[in-house]
Chains A and B, each alone.
Chain A
Amino acid sequence: MNLWIREMKAHRKSLILWCIGIIAMVGASMSKYAGLSMSGSGASMNELMADMPKSLQAVMGVGTFDLSKASGYYGAIFIYLLLMATIHAAMLGANILSKEERDKTAEFLLVKPISRSQMLTFKLLAALTQLVIFNLVMLGSSILLVSPYSHGESVNQDIMLLMVGMFLLQLLFLGIGLAIAGVSRYPKRAVSISTAILLITFILSIAIDISGNIDWMKYLTPFKYFDAKHVMYGGGLDGRFIGLTALILVGSLILTYVGYNKRDLHV
């Protein structure tokens, strides 16, 4: 328990900064929405967009979102919120383990009367708590800041569903970050490697958008697992991808525990 408190304290400043970042981000983008007015030919515009090939939609930057509604606009910016959340999660996961070795505190921690598994469990719990806080702040600020622009349209359910998807991805990237820091023999590089994976999968998700005919690759990039378009317009969260996320998460946690228990630590 002490370890949990210690970790929460150590990450307090960064978590607060991230929360301010979230609120600023959601606030700034929604205030931009106020200034965004669709041209008069809205209906025929939407019709045209619907006929456009997917790849062209992606490049034109509109997608299938109806930008004349607050929910559509929120869906369009959601990918950036998701990017923020996953960066936070991946860095947190890699950092929370590797920092002991980086800051040369691993020795101090490991002579304490707790096993490595216990230590991992508490660190995991601390990271989990932070993800929950992050997600709740995102949820709260989204609901509060979107509602003034929604004009009675019910957006809260969509937002909540999107946030569940976001939380799953946060967990996924936390797991990946932890696994890399747990297994890698070079803990200093753990943060770089996990962000590299994040960036590669992000670029891949864009490539999938542009290409339009490599849909099978979406299993490779978590950014496509809970696509905002799919989630908001009837699809909900896809069971297959929830399963896949759980699988990757469990796999990476097992890897973390096994790898970290066996590994030589640099002191």
Chain B
Amino acid sequence: MNMVLHELKAYRKSTILWTCTLVAVVVLLLSMFPTFARDADQFKSLLKTMPEAVLKAVGVQIETITTILGFYAYVFMYISLCGAIQAMNLGTSILSKEMREKTADFLLTKPVTRTQIVTSKLLAAFISLLITNVIYLAAATIMAMVVKNGDFEMSKLMMISVTLFFIQLIFMALGFFVSVLVLKIKSVLPISLGTVFAFFIIGMLGATTGDGAIRYFTPFKYFDPAYIMQHASYEGPFLWLGLGIVVAAIAISYVVYRKRDIHAV
């Protein structure tokens, strides 16, 4: 328990900062919605004069994107990018910082097992992500209420927002996994940024070209807002895949960390 508290304290500033960032981003982007909806309305009247085929091709898309939910789903892509960076950073640094800052020997001479260390660090990371998400969820909901142009289903908005937590958990577990496998991490940011952006760009490529299979390769696309809006549920296979990745990464981390050499001073 001491370890959990200590970690939470050590990451207090960064958690607060990231939470503020996420809230700021969602407020900024959602505040664009009223003007956006006005622009789009004008365009929609123009759309009616278009040939049938074109209407079919883009009509539905435009219908969704001009509702607050559809717009939020678009904006959410960038929010999940920020969230993923936070989570990956947290996951990668929380174990490896002991070695980087030469505090590993201090920690390991305490009467706790390595398993306990890993558990409390994971728990601390989990709690700090949870706090971020609770505050974010509140901010997103309030902001959506403020800018909405019609009724929308609150439960779907919640469901989309909660996927931020899922994505963060996946990236946190990945970061944890990486930090256990790599022998010495000099600085965390290049690793986490590289990984997150690589996955993000893969996801964007898939979106531009409309390729379905590519979705399996990037956590950013595991929880498709369009599907959630339509069915009010998550896609089973991807949910399991995400869970599988988290469990596997954490399980391997435990096994490896118990066995590996820890460089002391």
Contacts and interface: CB of A to CB of B under 8 A. Distances in A.
B197 interface: yes
Contacts, number: 111
B11 interface: no
Interface residues of B, number: 44
A125 interface: no
Contacts of A131: none
Interface in B15-46: 25, 28-29, 32, 35-36, 39-40, 42-43, 46
A207 B35 contact: no
B182 interface: no
A59 B43 contact: no
B25 A41 contact: no
Interface in B169-224: 186-187, 189-190, 193-194, 197-198, 201-202, 204-205, 207-211
B112 interface: no
Contacts of B1: none
B82 interface: yes
Determine the interface band of chain A, counting residues with CB < 8 A from chain B: 35 or more
B208 A211 contact: no
A142 interface: no
B65 interface: yes
Contact of B51 (A29, A44, A51, A76): A44
A44 B210 CA distance: 21
B205 A48 contact: no
Interface string B41-83: 0110011001101100110011001000001001100100010
Interface string B71-105: 10011001000100100000000000000000000
B175 to A, nearest CB: 15
Contact of A102 (B47, B53, B187): B187
A28 B205 CA distance: 9
Contact of A76 (B39, B61, B74, B208): B208
Contact of B62 (A14, A56, A95, A203): A56
A60 B43 contact: no
B19 to A, nearest CB: 14
Given A91-B190, A207-B28, A44 B201 contact: no
Contact of A83 (B39, B50, B82, B197): B197
A24 to B, nearest CB: 9
A55 B35 contact: yes
Interface of B: 25, 28-29, 32, 35-36, 39-40, 42-43, 46-47, 50-51, 53-54, 57-58, 61-62, 65, 71, 74-75, 78, 82, 85, 186-187, 189-190, 193-194, 197-198, 201-202, 204-205, 207-211
Given A61-B207, A211-B36, 9 more contacts: A45-B57, A48-B58, A53-B40, A59-B65, A60-B65, A84-B201, A203-B28, A210-B75, A212-B35
